[in-house]
Amino acid sequence: MSNDLIKKLQAFLPADAVLHETEDLKPYECDGLSAYRQTPMIVVLPESESQVVQILKLCYAMQIPVVARGAGTGLSGGALPHANGVLVSLAKLNCMLEIDPLARTARVQPGVRNLAISEAAKPHGLYYAPDPSSQIACSIGGNVAENSGGVHCLKYGLTVHNILKLRVLTINGEILEIGGDSLDSPGYDLLALITGSEGMLGIVTEITVKLIPIPEKAQLVMAAFDDIQKAGQAVANIIAAGIIPAGMEMMDKITIHAVEAFLHAGYDLNAEAILLCESDGTTEEVADEIQRIQTIMKSSGATDLKTSRDDPERLRLWAGRKAAFPAAGRVSPDYYCMDGTIPRKHLAKVLKGIATLSETYGLRCMNVFHAGDGNLHPLILYDANTPGELEKTEAFGGKILEMCIQAGGTITGEHGVGVEKINQMCSQFESDELNLFHSVKTAFDPQGLLNPGKAVPTLHRCAELGAMHVHHGEEKFPDLPRF
């Protein structure tokens, strides 16, 4: 079948846009989550929406699975290829189609880099707010697929809050226009449904994003704490005071040391935790808010405060936070980045639980997260060359996610479910909810050809895991700390 499919693809695609030799396929075998690998049967690199339409129509007619891929920076295995399927790379659909400074919008193709949107909008005094740590490389199409956030998502929201319209292709090549140019559109909110659907419902070929004015001023306070619980309480105190910072991030001691050795950002190596808190707006607004933040940090037990004096210093302090992942790569052969979200009030308790699990599994864990909205990113350090260590790491990560559920949170904040967290979906949701998810999938993709085997587990899988909800008041996670 593959030879026949190759010939049919080459009938409308250039020969070098249809990859089928093993050495050409290997670079596409995983995304940023390199723990899971699968060589695709074929990779195609379309240069236009019309070519994507033809690819989908062909695969639909031949009943071939299709997986869409952006820049490959995802961290949940969402773009993991199908062994008997076609991987559609959208990297060449990278045109900035239109910037409308009056409407404050940008219309772009999915392969456009996140940061490139802000760079293009800057001459108009505008920028695109969501800023994942990988923003220099990640594509906006992938951001839509995973509903990505970033360090400024507390004030400005996730991807879903910053897009107006999508152009989407269904598995049979039909073109859908979802959303609109106004703040609301008639009918069901399909824009929110598609955003974060991990390529399981359709392939996005065009995105209209909101742009916002570049703030007149931005300033950052870095606070060091001798106790991580005090840092967690400082987060709660700032929010309770009615302050919504532009960004609020936390790092624990092991992360501070790894980042400082890598980037020399000026972090306090004696601190048990560091809190980065940014204010933006007019000069007067920022001055007032920074003073209030400093007062709250001190009263919450901060041992040291540093406030950025200019923009280069502010960016340097943020660079340390954004470099946490590569810093982890310098101190460990491999790392496994988790992504769970919890109520802010449980930050300190969950971090203590992670420390206990770290001792239990004998694996170090760096904790770095969006403290303002409770989105955790524990980085479990391991060595894939040590037999059994990946499996131990997966078990450790699974326990962290179960602890997030127990705390009243969820198993993902911005990385998606992919293949990484599919088992924990069985713990997060009941059978009726999973059936509903499958019904939505079927409505868009009756044959289950788009990104099969990701995000939503079958009830049979959950039954095999024995992980379905326990009812009638029985404890669901009896071996984890109580909340």
Q: Which residues contact 46 (CB under 8 A, 6 or more apart)?
A: 13, 17, 52, 55, 88, 90, 92, 93
The average pLDDT across 251-279 equals: 95
CA neighbor of 374 nearest in space, from 399, 400, 348? 348
With bands split at pLDDT 50, 70 and 90, how would you rate the model's confidence at 182?
confident
Provide the residue ranges of all domains of the chain, joining segments of one domain with +: 2-89, 96-213, 217-326, 333-465
**pLDDT at site 307:** 97
Task: Report pTM.
Answer: 0.94
Q: At what angle do helices 389-406 and 347-361 cross, to 10 degrees?
A: 160
**pLDDT at site 322:** 87
**pLDDT at site 483:** 65
Whether the pLDDT of residue 478 is over 70: the answer is no
With bands split at pLDDT 50, 70 and 90, how would you rate the model's confidence at 344?
confident
d(CA 357, CA 359): 5
Place of tokens 């199908």: 82
**pLDDT at site 469:** 47
**pLDDT at site 186:** 78
Quick check: do 217-326 and 333-465 share a fold?
yes
Tokens of 124: 């108009």
Higher-scoring residue by pLDDT: 467, 232: 232
The average pLDDT across 404-414 equals: 95
Whether the pLDDT of residue 465 is over 90: the answer is no
Average pLDDT, the chain: 94
pLDDT above 90 coverage of the chain, percent = 88
Q: Which CATH number fits domain 333-465: 3.40.50.2300, 3.30.70.2740, 3.30.1320.10, 3.30.420.40?
A: 3.30.70.2740
Q: In this structure, how many other beta carbons lie within 10 angstroms of the beta carbon of residue 419?
A: 18
CB 238 within 8 A of CB 318: no
Q: Residue 218, SS3?
A: strand
With bands split at pLDDT 50, 70 and 90, how would you rate the model's confidence at 401?
very high
Would you identify the CATH topology of the domain 96-213? Answer: 3.30.465
Whether the pLDDT of residue 389 is over 50: the answer is yes
**pLDDT at site 472:** 35
Domain 217-326: CATH class, spelled out: alpha beta
φ, ψ at 275 (rounded to 5°): -120, 125
Sign of CA dihedral 478, 480, 482, 483: negative
Whether the pLDDT of residue 177 is over 70: the answer is yes
pLDDT-wise least confident of 249-253, 323-327, 381-385: 323-327
pLDDT-wise least confident of 189-203, 250-264, 343-357: 343-357
Q: Which CATH number fits domain 2-89: 3.30.43.10, 1.10.1840.10, 3.40.50.2300, 1.10.260.40?
A: 3.30.43.10
The average pLDDT across 4-12 equals: 97
pLDDT in tens, 33-58: 888 999 999 999 999 999 999 999 99
DSSP string, 40-90: -SEEE--SSHHHHHHHHHHHHHHT--EEEESSS--SSSTTPPPTTSEEEE-
CB 173 within 8 A of CB 57: yes
CB 198 within 8 A of CB 454: yes
